[in-house]
């Protein structure tokens, strides 16, 4: 079968990544500070909607691995100006693999035609191998049978260093939603997004960097850490805990 990848990006090294749930006032201060030192990410429109469908096996292997500290997340990401009520309706999507551990991550991202996605999820079509070996690991999960299990939607504003060495994002209106997916077949697409499982009450600030943070960012990081509501696990873990009734944090529903 032909393999069409429209675009691909990959991390060249492990990236530090910390997530905090903060209130609006702290988020505004963090964004103002970030905006003083960093430009808006050129790939992001401020507050565009990011819609991500996370994949897992029928026996939740990826979630269980993530709960134990390290997992290879498989996800499909789309961007929209206004909030869509269905997934996989556009011409192309980003199929991403993210090696996520407690405080660092590795990511590979492939832009693929949406119509090819079911074949990738079935394993009938393979992504080109990457240097970090994420695709090879993803193939093992795919062989066990994966499908979209949960969706997140949020407005993201991102500031990023031009050389890609650091990135600070704020996610507003984060919602976790169900997705009634039947089969990895073209007939399942587009798929209407199901009801809201839970909403984050505050703003998620993510600080991501390679090597070390500059002084101003280090101070901002400490400030956010001191004033956070709490630290957050990945959106995937929070979403799955809610889906399976295993949530341990008090989010608004």
Partner 1 sequence: MKNLAVTMPPGSSTTPTSVVVVEDDPASADVLQRRLQANGMKVSVGRDGGEGLALVREIVPDLVLLDVMLPDTDGYDVCLRIKSDGAISHIPVIFLSARGEVVDKVRGLSCGAADYVTKPWNAAELLARIDAVLLQARNARPPRLEPQALRPQHARPVASIALKDGARRASAEKLLAARFDFARDGAEVVDLVLIDEGATPERELVDDGTAVLVIARGSETPSSEFARLDGELSRHAELLVREMRLVRDMGAAADALITLATALEAHDRFMMGHSERVAGRAVSIAALLGLDQAAIGTIRLGALLRDVGNAKLPPPIVHKPGELTAHEREAVERHPLLGEEILRHVSPLAPILPIVRWHHERLDGAGYPDHLPAEKIPLEVRIVSVADRFEALLVDRPDRAAVTEQEAVRILQGAVGRGELDPAVVAALAAQVRSGAALEGEQ
| Minimum separation from the CB atom of position 50 to partner 1 (A) | 11
Q: Is 47 near partner 1 (CB under 8 A)?
A: yes
Contact flag: residue 102 with partner 1 (CB under 8 A): no
Positions in 138-197 near partner 1 (CB under 8 A): 147, 149-150, 155, 157, 172-173, 175, 178-185, 192, 194-197
Closest to partner 1 by CB, 63 or 106: 63
Answer whether the bond into residue 107 is a cis peptide, omega within 30°: no
Q: Where are the beta strands (DSSP E) in the chain?
A: 7-10, 15-22, 48-57, 71-80, 86-87, 92-100, 104-113, 146-160, 166-178, 191-192, 196-199, 203-209, 230-231
Euclidean distance between the first and the last CA atom of the chain, given in angstroms as a whole number: 44
Q: How many other CB atoms are there within 10 angstroms of residue 250's CB atom?
A: 9
Compute the least distance from the CB of residue 252 to partner 1, in Å.
Answer: 8
| Distance between CA atoms of residues 27 and 225, nearest Å | 12
Closer residue to partner 1 in complex, CB, 145/214: 145
Q: Which two tokens stand for residue 59?
A: 């026996």
Q: Cβ of residue 210: shortest distance to partner 1, in angstroms?
A: 27
6 binds partner 1, rule: CB under 8 A: no
Contact 39, 48 (CB under 8 A): no
* Rg from Cα positions in the chain: 18
Among 12, 39, 59, 219, binds partner 1 (CB under 8 A): 59
Would you count residue 79 as binding partner 1 (CB under 8 A)? Answer: no
Member of 7, 12, 58, 131 binding partner 1 (CB under 8 A): 58
Interface contacts to partner 1, rule CB under 8 A: 24, 31, 46-49, 58-60, 81-83, 85, 147, 149-150, 155, 157, 172-173, 175, 178-185, 192, 194-197, 199, 201, 243-246, 253
């Amino acid at each position: 079968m032909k393999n069409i990848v429209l675009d691909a990006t990959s991390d060249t090294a492990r990236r530090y990544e910390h997530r905090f749930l903060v209130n609006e006032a702290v988020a505004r201060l963090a964004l103002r500070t970030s905006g003083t030192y960093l430009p808006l990410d050129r790939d992001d429109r401020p507050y565009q909607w990011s819609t991500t469908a996370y994949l897992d096996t029928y026996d939740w292997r990826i979630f269980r691995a993530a709960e134990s500290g390290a997992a290879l997340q498989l996800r499909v990401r789309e961007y929209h100006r206004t909030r869509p009520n269905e997934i996989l309706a556009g011409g192309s999507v980003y199929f991403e693999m993210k090696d996520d551990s407690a405080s660092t991550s590795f990511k590979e991202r492939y832009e693929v035609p949406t119509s090819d996605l079911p074949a990738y999820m079935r394993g009938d079509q393979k992504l080109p191998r990457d240097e970090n070996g994420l695709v090879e690991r993803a193939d093992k999960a795919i062989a066990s049978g994966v499908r979209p299990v949960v969706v997140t939607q949020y407005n993201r504003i991102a500031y990023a260093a031009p050389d890609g060495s650091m990135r600070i994002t704020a996610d507003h209106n984060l919602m976790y939603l169900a997705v009634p997916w039947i089969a990895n077949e073209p007939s399942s697409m587009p798929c209407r997004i199901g009801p809201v499982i839970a909403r984050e009450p505050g703003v998620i600030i993510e600080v991501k960097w390679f090597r070390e943070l500059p002084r101003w960012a280090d101070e901002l990081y400490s400030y956010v850490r001191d004033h956070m509501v709490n630290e957050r696990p990945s959106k995937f873990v929070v979403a799955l805990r809610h889906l399976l009734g295993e949530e341990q944090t008090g989010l608004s529903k």
